[in-house]
Amino acid sequence: MNTNEIFATTKNWLPKLKALRRQLHKYPETAPTFTQTHKIILDKLKSCKLKQIKLQHSHSLCFELQGDLSGPTLLFCANMSGTALMDHSKENFHSLVPGYTHSEQNHDAEITSLIGLMWCAQKLKSTLHGNIRILFMADDINSTSSLRELQQNVFNDIKYATHFEFSNRYHYQRIYYSYDYSKPRIDQFNIAYRDNPSQAQIKSNKTVFMASKLVTQLPIIIKQSLGELTPVGFKFTKIHAQDAHNIQPNHIEIEGNLYTYDKELANATFSLITDLVQNQMLGPSAVISTQMAYPPLYNDTNWMNQLLPMVSQLVDEQSLIEHPIPMLTNSHFSIISESIPSVQLTLGTQKFPFDEVSSNTFEESCLSLGLSALLSIVCHYQDRGNNVLTAKFDGAG
């Protein structure tokens, strides 16, 4: 489908999208009570031939449309949760849940967009390369057991992520984009050493002296060995030498963090550290242990450069604007963007003139443009090999 065909398709679906969004707007629920929201989602998707991925540790819902041809899996996410604010809407479809609303963050529009995508995509099943996976995220998704389950069953093969917001705070049909700063991989290390007092040639203060030498010289030697421009950093966080007082310690532990951007460089650095510590500094009795604390997050402009040409076909050049402030950690989508290179797209829903009083008025014609963005990703990227692409519709207050 080309851009004109996509716009024509989503325009035809707009009346059903509006009706669905208004139905969802009445029930801004939160975990563990998604009774009406779950019922509506399951009812609207029952005509689609989807595989449901069962989640045991969250009230989230996950489905997958399997294409008839081989290709990548695309993951699209929506937030289901309402916001704990009064709904002051005077529409006849205002919130029926006291003290909660969808007007602030537009999560009803997110859910509608994902369901609309599956309505459209099922008609492409015979020519679809790969799979389309959708996740309706509940507000209990950040629990440890839920995160582990999602990483294993839903997020395990994702390479890139796109965070797409509907926002009442931005002007109508303008799309703002931003991408996160790079965050290094962090590996924690521990170096433990104990003097052998039976060796007469070892002086009693050797342990402390060698530990001091290691802390001051190791980073310098590593930089010289790997190259001054190699992105490797050190931070020593703890030096511990026995608990007894008024004695020269013969045992010491050094803890710290190693900062790199990939597994290969981290492994190469630790191999060099092991060689230096055991063969040149402390001796073969020194024990070095490591564990990864946090994965890296790349400032992946390659994904942004792929994504923006697709988005630029949907709006004019003046309506595609770089956002000056990274905004990737304001929703449940942050559990993905913390470990996957991400681009955020924000679709404005507020018509001119813009003012704070009317900022909770959602312009429903934006549902068509939002669905066009999702459908464009499917049509333009579904046959690009084995990259797994993620789009997230999220509302911003």
Give the model confidence (pLDDT) of 163-191 as tens digits.
777 888 788 888 888 775 557 788 999 99
**Which pLDDT belongs to residue 294?**
79
Is pLDDT at 390 greater than 70 in this prediction? Answer: no
Instruction: Please state, rounded to an integer, the average pLDDT across all residues of the chain.
Output: 80
Is pLDDT at 396 greater than 60 in this prediction? Answer: no
In terms of pLDDT, which residue wins out, 311 or 28? 28
Is pLDDT at 295 greater than 70 in this prediction? Answer: yes
Domains present along the chain, CATH in parentheses: 3-182+297-396 (3.40.630.10), 185-294 (3.30.70.360)
**Helix (H) or strand (E) segment spanning residue 366:** helix 366-381
Has this prediction a pTM greater than 0.85?
no
Mean pLDDT along residues 264-283: 89
**pLDDT tier at 43 (50, 70, 90 boundaries)?**
very high
In terms of pLDDT, which residue wins out, 205 or 208? 208
**Which pLDDT belongs to residue 118?**
95
**Which pLDDT belongs to residue 328?**
39
**Which pLDDT belongs to residue 84?**
83
**Which pLDDT belongs to residue 79?**
87
**Which pLDDT belongs to residue 358?**
47
| Tens digits of residue pLDDT in 44-63 | 999 998 999 999 888 999 99
C-alpha distances in Å from residue 24, one per residue of 19, 110, 200: 9, 10, 80
**pLDDT tier at 357 (50, 70, 90 boundaries)?**
very low
CB 281 within 8 A of CB 214: yes
Residues with Cβ within 8 Å of 159's Cβ and at least 6 positions away in sequence, in order, are 340, 341, 387, 388, 389
- Distance of alpha carbon 345 from alpha carbon 32, whole angstroms: 29
**Which pLDDT belongs to residue 156?**
80
* Tokens (6 digits) for 257: 């963090």
